[in-house]
Amino acid sequence: MKHPSFQPFDGLPHAPMAMPKQTLERPQMLGSFFRAFLLVWQRG
Amino acid sequence: MRHGAFPGQTGLLRLLTLTFAAAVCVTAGLFFIDLIGGNRPGWLDWVRTILLVLTGFWLVWGGTTGIIGAFAPTPKARGDQADPEGRTAVLVPIYNEDPVETFARIAAMNRQIVKRGLAAKFHFAILSDTTSLEVAAEEANAFESLMHEPDAPGRIFYRRRERNIGRKAGNIEDFIARSGGAYDYAIILDADSLMEAGTMVAMARAMDLDEKLGLLQTVPVVIGARTAFGRMMAFSSAYYSKYFSRGAALLQGNQGPYWGHNAIVRMRAFAACCGLPVLSGKPPYGGHILSHDYVEAALLARGGWKVVVDPELGGSYEQGPENLIEYAKRDRRWCQGNLQHRRLLAAPGLKFWSRFTFLQGIMAYMASPLWLLLLVASLAASLVPDSGGDRWGATPWAIGLGVVVTLLLPKFAILVRGALDGTNRAFGGWRVIPSVLGEILLSTVIAPALLAFQSRAVFQILFGFDGGWPATERDARAVSLRTAFEASWWICVVAIGAIAFMTLAGPAFLPWLLPVAAPALLAPVIIWASSQGEDDAVSSWLYCAPSERAPSPIIGEAQAILAHWRAHDPVGMTELSALGVHAPA
């Protein structure tokens, strides 16, 4: 029986392709303001 | 190339269908409020009416889609059978499934591809996210068998990730990050997928011929089902799905669906548009995107690519759950994924139809608790004295008839269309009639249990806990009455409570409750009984589908390879089965 980490990806073309992360959330202006100025103990 | 017979066809059809569904629901709401409150409705009457209109809209919407599909002309399938210009990677993400079965299907697909002389154009990559070390060992051994297949070395690849970052979407992303640039297209399959070489060629050719096509989704047919429940689902997928998808395709235009498998994507479009972020916040709404396929379709459409479903492309198969418990387990996962899309309804730049698709997916699950709420509100209303308002004369029979027509009309329309276009012949001619009637009967009987399971799933996800499931065997088909009872006893309790309440509070309304409460009371028996029939399934004429009457050669080839591998036990399956290796649910 082979070792479980057996990875015969050898021979697969090495041709990296970037997959940039997409934006799906809108910046929450009110929430950011609230966190930045009012919840001072949560900074950092 | 635009979508539709004339400019604006898709938009006009959407507008007409949305208006029609809204008009039917508002009319039903007016009938309903006249029935329950007359011209002096109370607040509970308004609540019940709003719930009826909300839930009824999605019923009418679904039914109208089916009717449009039943009456739509038959379009030509995309692509042709010329040799594709682009190179395709067939990606098979796996996760603790039985590797011998999966790899046998890959071997069958590879044999057909090689036979057509297209070995250089189609490579296979098995992308394992398996967490069980025993199953991983089986995979490694099964891969060795796969390497003995024609032209396999250097064309069929396997790797296993140690960490499942991003789950299935991350698994595919990992492949693209490493080798995406070597391929023009990727056909994405599931572990239980099977696809004819002709279909793969047609899909790759469709990509060659339309450079704006970003994703082409097939409508897979469920095969291999043996139980009454499984075969009913397989019959539905084989008989109705083509027409429902044809209707949906006309409404979706170039913002069609992606169901996560049995589809082809243009590699550079997918890479450029579908890098999924991790959503802020904690699960169930934050974290990794669970139902990634809908989101990827929306992102491709946002990027200007066509996303299209083609129901005319045959030769695309998958397997489905064989009993209601397995179905409900799968539904629970999908429910969580769809509810998470609430966060994406306002995502920047999405097409209107992508947002509508998210909403549709959310409502597919939210409808169940809303129906349940309508039932509870109706039970509560029996305690409230009638306001004595004047009525126009709406009767409960009219409302009931409206619901029945909405549910059944599309199926009968498809039955008629099937007789006219020759589809019924492939299903055994007149024998399709008892199959349709049987499907209507069984789906009606299991509906209350399904409603209860879906409502519980929504409740669990919203409140962040999981009630769990009784253990079922790997590749479970038939379930015992005991297992069925363990999974659904609480549905019986709710049904008994509702019947008792109505008997005491409003016995006159009891007959209206019984069509829902009686099947709910019998849920364990229905789950158990519908999971039976494995022994005589193939010879059974009920729910008979073309994949049983005249199976595609690739189905036979995959079964023959599997039988051969099992007979020679090349991967130590006997030994591993004896160890009780199970895939996590």
Q: Give B235-266 pLDDT, tens digit per residue.
A: 999 999 999 999 999 999 999 999 999 999 99
DSSP line for B364-429 = HHHHHHHHHHHHHHHHHHTTSPP---------HHHHHHHHHHHHHHHHHHHHHHHHHHSHHHHTTG
Nearest to B209 by CA among B311, B79, B310, B83: B79
Tokens of B227: 């139980």
Which pLDDT value is given to residue B467?
52
Query: Does the beta-carbon distance from B177 to A16 stay under 8 Å?
Result: yes
Q: List residues of chain A with CB under 8 Å from any CB of chain B.
A: 1-9, 11-26
Nearest to B467 by CA among B487, B449, B484: B487
B157 contact residues in A (CB cutoff 8 A) = 8-9, 11-12
- Those residues whose C-beta lies under 8 Å from the C-beta of residue B287, and which sit 6 or more positions away, are B278, B279, B281
From the list A8, A9, A17, the residue facing B180 with the nearest CB is A17
Alpha carbon of B11: minimum distance to chain A alpha carbons (Å): 25
Q: What ipTM does this complex have?
A: 0.80
Q: What is the DSSP letter of B336?
A: H
A9 contact residues in B (CB cutoff 8 A) = 157-159, 178
Query: Does the beta-carbon distance from B295 to A8 stay under 8 Å?
Result: no
Tokens of B248: 């949906």
Q: What share of chain B is helix, strand, coil (3-state, %, to 5)?
A: 60, 10, 30
Instruction: List per-block mean pLDDT (blocks of 10 residues) for chain B, which spans 585 residues.
Output: 69 96 95 89 93 95 96 91 96 95 98 97 96 92 93 93 90 95 97 97 98 97 93 95 96 96 98 95 86 97 97 95 94 92 94 96 96 92 80 84 93 97 93 95 96 94 69 68 96 96 89 94 96 69 88 95 85 44 35
What's the rounded Cα separation, in Å, for the pair B223 and B228? 13
Q: Give A3-44 pLDDT, tens digit per residue.
A: 444 556 667 888 999 999 999 988 776 666 666 665 555 544
From the list B141, B159, B177, the residue facing A9 with the nearest CB is B159
Among all residues of chain A, which has the CA nearest to that of B350?
A24
From the list A4, A16, A23, the residue facing B178 with the nearest CB is A16
Q: Provide the β-strand partners of residue B318.
A: B222
Which pLDDT value is given to residue B38?
85
What's the rounded Cα separation, in Å, for the pair B203 and B205? 5
- In terms of phi and psi (left: phi > 0; alpha: psi -120 to 50; beta: otherwise), the region of A18 is beta
Query: Does the beta-carbon distance from A23 to B274 stay under 8 Å?
Result: no
Contact B294, B258 (CB under 8 A): yes
Query: Does the beta-carbon distance from B348 to A4 stay under 8 Å?
Result: no
Among all residues of chain A, which has the CA nearest to that of B181?
A15
Burial (CB count within 10 angstroms: exposed 0-12, middle 13-18, buried 19+), residue B513 = buried
